[in-house]
C-alpha cells in the first residue's frame, strides 16, 4: 500500500515496523465545543484508511486521543484556554465541558457517522503523570529551560527542527508576527505551562517546576508513546497540524527516544463552505444535526467527502450534498436489487465484474487512498447492471461483494433489509391488477406502497421497487 508521506513529500510503500501490524496515531478532537462538519472530514478519511489497511490484510492498532486539557486558543502557547473559555461561557467547569462534548462527539462519530471505533481513545487528563515524567526526561537530556510562564523546549538544540514543515528557521524572528514572551527562540514551545498566580484553574496539577498543565504538543507525544511505543508507522492529522503541532511532536519525541517517531505523516486538507473558510461571523459553520434537519442522510455527507481525494481542498454546499444524496439513493437502490426476483443464473461476465470491481476498488484505495477512483469503479459496475436482462442478482452472488464494499466505504449496503412480506404481497396484487387492466386498483396499490416509502418502477422484466 502506498501513502503520501508529508515528511518526504513523496508517495511511499508502507512497510510496517512490526511485521503485519500497523501502529497508527490520529490527532483527535479538542472537546471544548460542538463538533462541526469540518471537524469530521479528516476522521472520515482516517476511517477509510483504517478500513483499507484491514482489507489489505494488516492488523491495525489505532489510537485517537481526546484533548481535554491544555489547548490554548493559539498554537504558539498564547491566548485563553479553550476549555476554560467554554466553561465560563456555559457557567460550568472545564471538567463538565469535557464530559459534555466527549459524549456528543462519541455519539456523532460512532452512532451517527458509523466510523470504526479506534483501538484506544485516551484522554490527556488520564496521562498527566506520564507527561510530567516525559518533561523530566527532556530536562535531564538538556532540552528544556524555565521562564516566567512555563517550561519550554529549546528548538535550537536540534539541527533538524522543522523538517516536517520544511520551516525556514533562520528567517523567523521576534516581531510583528512572532511575540517575544521571553523564549530563547521564536520556535520554542511550552511542554509545561504554569497556572496564573492570581487564578485557580479547574484543571491544574503539581509538578517539580510548579502548579500547571501540560503543553498541547506534549499530550500527543506521550499518549502515542505509552500506547504504541517509541516508534509508530503512521501519524495522521490535518494540514494545519504540520507547521506547529506535528513539528513539535517530532522534536520532543525524537529527543527523548533518539529514534524516528513515525515513518509516515499523512495529512488531510481542509473543507470550505461555499468557497470560503468556515467562520462563526459568516454564519457558515454547520453541524451534523443541521444536515439531518434538512432531510439529508449522513451517509450522503460521507459520500460527498469520499468523492474528493483527502489531499485536495473540499467545498461544502447544499447543492453538492444534494447531488451526493441522489447518488447515495442510486447506490442503495442498486444494492436492494439483491432482494428482488432474479434469473436463476447470473451472466458469467457479471460474476467476473463483481470480482474485478472489488479488486479495482481496493487497488485504488491502496494507491494513496484514491477514494474518487474507488467510487468510479463502483459506478462502472452499477452502470453495467442497468443493461443486463434481469431485474436483480441472487444474494449468493452479491452478498460477498456488497459486504466488502460496505466494510471498506463505511456505507450500509449488505445489511439493508428486505421489504416486508405484506409489501411484497401488495406488489404481486398490483401486477395481477395490471395484467387484468384494472388500472384503478393498480394505481390504488401503487399509492399504498408510496405511503409506505416504496417507489415502483415498471420494466419489461417486471416491477422493481426502491425506497424513497
DSSP-derived 3-state class of residue 150: strand
Mean pLDDT over residues 281-286, rounded?
A: 84
What's the pLDDT tens digit per position in 405-456?
999 999 998 888 899 999 999 999 999 999 999 999 999 999 999 999 999 9
Q: Is the pTM of this model over 0.85?
A: yes
DSSP-derived 3-state class of residue 415: coil
Quick one: DSSP state of residue 390? S
Question: What pLDDT does residue 170 have?
Answer: 61
Mean pLDDT over the full length of the chain: 90
Share of the chain above pLDDT 90, in %: 75
What's the pLDDT tens digit per position in 338-362?
887 665 556 677 778 888 999 999 9
Mean pLDDT over residues 9-26, rounded?
A: 97
Residue 389: pLDDT above 70?
no
Query: What does the alpha-carbon distance between residue 145 and residue 139 come to, in Å, rounded to a whole number?
Result: 8
Query: What does the alpha-carbon distance between residue 269 and residue 386 come to, in Å, rounded to a whole number?
Result: 35
DSSP-derived 3-state class of residue 229: coil
What's the pLDDT tens digit per position in 172-193?
554 444 455 689 999 999 999 9
CA proximity to 250, closest of 121, 321, 161, 118: 161
Question: What pLDDT does residue 343 have?
Answer: 54
Question: What pLDDT does residue 229 have?
Answer: 98
DSSP letters along 244-310, please? IIIHHHHHHHHHHHSS-SEEEEEEEPPEEETTB---TTTT----HHHHHHTT--HHHHHHHHHTS-T
What's the pLDDT tens digit per position in 246-262?
999 999 999 999 999 99
Residue 238: pLDDT band with limits 50, 70, 90:
very high
What's the pLDDT tens digit per position in 206-216?
999 999 999 98
Query: What does the alpha-carbon distance between residue 184 and residue 158 come to, in Å, rounded to a whole number?
Result: 14
Query: What does the alpha-carbon distance between residue 395 and residue 342 come to, in Å, rounded to a whole number?
Result: 10
What's the pLDDT tens digit per position in 94-149?
999 999 999 999 999 999 999 999 999 999 999 999 999 999 999 999 999 999 99
Amino acid at each position: 500500500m502506498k501513502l503520501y508521506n508529508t515528511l518526504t513529500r513523496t508517495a511511499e510503500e508502507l512497510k510496517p515496523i512490526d511485521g503485519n501490524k500497523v501502529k497508527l496515531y490520529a490527532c483527535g478532537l479538542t472537546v471544548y465545543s460542538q463538533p462541526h462538519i469540518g471537524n469530521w472530514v479528516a476522521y472520515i478519511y482516517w476511517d477509510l484508511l483504517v478500513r483499507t489497511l484491514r482489507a489489505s490484510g494488516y492488523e491495525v492498532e489505532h489510537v485517537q486521543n481526546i484533548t481535554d486539557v491544555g489547548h490554548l486558543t493559539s498554537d504558539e502557547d498564547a491566548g485563553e484556554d479553550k476549555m476554560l473559555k467554554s466553561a465560563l461561557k456555559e457557567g460550568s467547569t472545564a471538567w463538565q465541558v469535557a464530559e459534555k462534548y466527549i459524549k456528543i462527539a462519541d455519539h456523532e462519530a460512532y452512532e451517527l457517522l458509523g466510523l470504526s471505533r479506534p483501538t484506544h481513545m485516551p484522554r490527556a487528563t488520564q496521562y498527566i503523570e506520564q507527561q510530567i515524567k516525559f518533561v523530566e526526561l527532556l530536562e535531564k537530556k538538556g532540552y528544556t529551560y524555565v521562564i516566567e510562564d512555563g517550561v519550554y523546549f529549546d528548538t535550537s538544540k536540534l539541527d533538524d527542527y522543522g523538517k516536517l514543515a520544511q520551516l525556514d528557521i533562520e528567517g523567523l524572528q521576534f516581531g510583528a508576527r512572532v511575540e517575544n514572551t521571553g523564549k530563547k527562540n521564536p520556535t520554542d514551545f511550552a511542554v509545561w505551562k504554569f497556572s496564573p498566580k492570581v487564578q485557580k484553574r479547574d484543571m491544574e496539577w503539581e509538578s517539580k517546576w510548579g502548579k500547571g498543565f501540560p503543553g498541547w504538543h506534549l499530550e500527543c507525544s506521550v499518549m502515542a508513546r505509552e500506547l504504541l511505543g517509541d516508534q509508530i508507522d503512521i501519524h495522521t492529522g490535518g494540514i494545519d497540524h504540520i507547521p506547529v503541532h506535528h513539528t513539535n511532536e517530532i522534536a520532543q519525541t525524537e529527543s527523548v527516544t533518539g529514534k524516528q517517531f513515525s515513518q509516515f505523516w499523512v495529512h488531510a486538507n481542509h473543507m470550505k463552505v461555499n468557497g470560503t473558510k468556515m467562520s462563526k461571523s459568516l454564519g457558515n459553520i454547520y453541524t451534523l444535526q443541521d444536515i439531518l434537519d434538512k432531510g439529508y442522510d449522513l451517509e450522503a455527507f460521507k459520500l460527498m467527502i469520499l468523492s474528493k481525494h483527502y489531499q485536495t481542498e473540499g467545498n461544502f454546499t447544499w447543492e453538492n450534498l444534494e447531488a451526493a444524496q441522489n447518488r447515495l439513493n442510486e447506490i442503495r437502490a442498486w444494492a436492494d436489487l439483491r432482494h428482488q426476483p432474479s434469473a436463476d443464473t447470473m451472466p458469467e461476465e457479471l460474476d467476473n465484474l463483481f470480482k474485478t470491481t472489488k479488486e479495482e476498488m481496493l487497488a485504488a484505495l491502496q494507491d494513496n487512498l484514491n477514494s474518487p477512483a474507488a467510487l468510479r469503479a463502483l459506478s462502472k459496475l452499477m452502470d453495467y447492471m442497468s443493461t443486463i436482462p434481469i431485474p436483480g442478482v441472487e444474494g449468493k452472488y452479491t452478498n460477498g461483494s456488497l459486504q466488502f464494499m460496505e466494510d471498506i466505504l463505511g456505507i450500509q449496503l449488505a445489511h439493508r433489509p428486505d421489504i416486508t412480506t405484506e409489501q411484497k404481497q401488495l406488489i404481486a396484487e398490483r401486477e395481477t391488477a395490471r395484467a387484468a387492466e384494472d388500472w384503478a386498483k393498480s394505481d390504488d396499490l401503487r399509492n399504498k406502497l408510496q405511503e409506505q416509502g416504496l417507489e415502483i418502477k415498471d420494466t419489461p422484466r417486471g416491477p422493481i421497487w426502491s425506497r424513497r
